[in-house]
Amino acid sequence: MLPESFDLDFSDDDLNRYSRHILLPEVGAVGQAKLRESSVLIVGAGGLGSPVALYLAAAGVGRIGLVDDDRVELSNLQRQILFDSDDIGQAKVASAEKRLSALNPQIEIVTYSLRADATTLPELIGSYDLVCDGCDNFATRYAVADCSWAQDKTLISGAVQRFEGTLSTFSPRSGGPCYRCLYPDADETTALSCGQAGIFGAVTGVIGTLMATEALKELLSLGKGLTGRVLVWSALDASFRSFDLPPDPACSCCGRGAL
């Protein structure tokens, strides 16, 4: 039974806008109403956050939060498709809000022009249904993952470098692993950034679009997700592979090490 807050009334424009979703038996009007009542926090409005935000907005997710404290630079435009040349020098979240609102004026875009860390994230994450992590450094990823786990929020996490990308889902309610089960002690000093290692621009589009797909599946309870699995895509090999990720009993976040 649907919660009373779910409104199944759609205007003619709504039906036209979302008709391809509503035609899918697995989504239908009920699923579209669920998306309208859902909320997603996207941490990082860069190469990954751009396609995630665009597809969630287009899909009609009712409230989308964007966290990023950077400004648009010329070097971003090779892969960060939320922005164009006129946005250079502007705050990313402000430019993103304008673009997403133009794409779908029916949804709410909430922006947070601040550094995502263990101090700022808890209050933000608590007010959203699901979190998407498109960050570019381990320190922020750990903060997002730890806060999401502590607040019982499902996290869709993606990462890219050079010609490869990875993706997984971490869901506290599933009894599966957390992010630190995958990366228990990553060394930030040896991890290269995109500015150091380079990135094939379209790779961020592939992984970001997969992140959006998994986020929508989680919101709609569709199909098989990536909890307990890690998906790896290689652009040069044109190949996907995945491997199982069991919970680490000694994990400092979700295992005995957290006690």
CA distance linking residue 73 with residue 90, whole number of Å: 8
Residue 255 has a pLDDT of 85
6 lies in some domain: no
Strand partners, 71: 91
At a CB cut-off of 8 Å and minimum separation 6, what does 142 contact? 179, 180, 183, 186
26 lies in some domain: yes
7 lies in some domain: no
CB 57 within 8 A of CB 64: yes
190 lies in some domain: yes
Residue 43 has a pLDDT of 98
Q: How many domains does the chain have?
A: 1
Alpha carbon of residue 196 to chain centroid:
23
100 lies in some domain: yes
CB 217 within 8 A of CB 148: no
Enclosing domain of residue 150: 12-258
233 lies in some domain: yes
CA distance linking residue 159 with residue 233, whole number of Å: 11
pLDDT tens over the chain, length 259 residues: 334 556 788 999 999 999 999 999 999 999 999 999 999 999 999 999 999 999 999 999 999 999 999 999 999 999 999 999 999 999 999 999 999 999 999 999 999 999 999 999 999 999 999 999 999 899 999 999 999 999 999 999 999 999 999 999 999 988 889 999 999 987 655 566 666 788 999 999 999 999 999 999 999 999 999 999 999 999 999 999 999 999 999 999 998 666 5
157 lies in some domain: yes
Query: Which CATH number belongs to the domain containing residue 219 in this structure?
Result: 3.40.50.720
49 lies in some domain: yes
At a CB cut-off of 8 Å and minimum separation 6, what does 56 contact? 40, 42, 64, 212, 215, 216
Residue 238 has a pLDDT of 96
CA distance linking residue 90 with residue 41, whole number of Å: 21
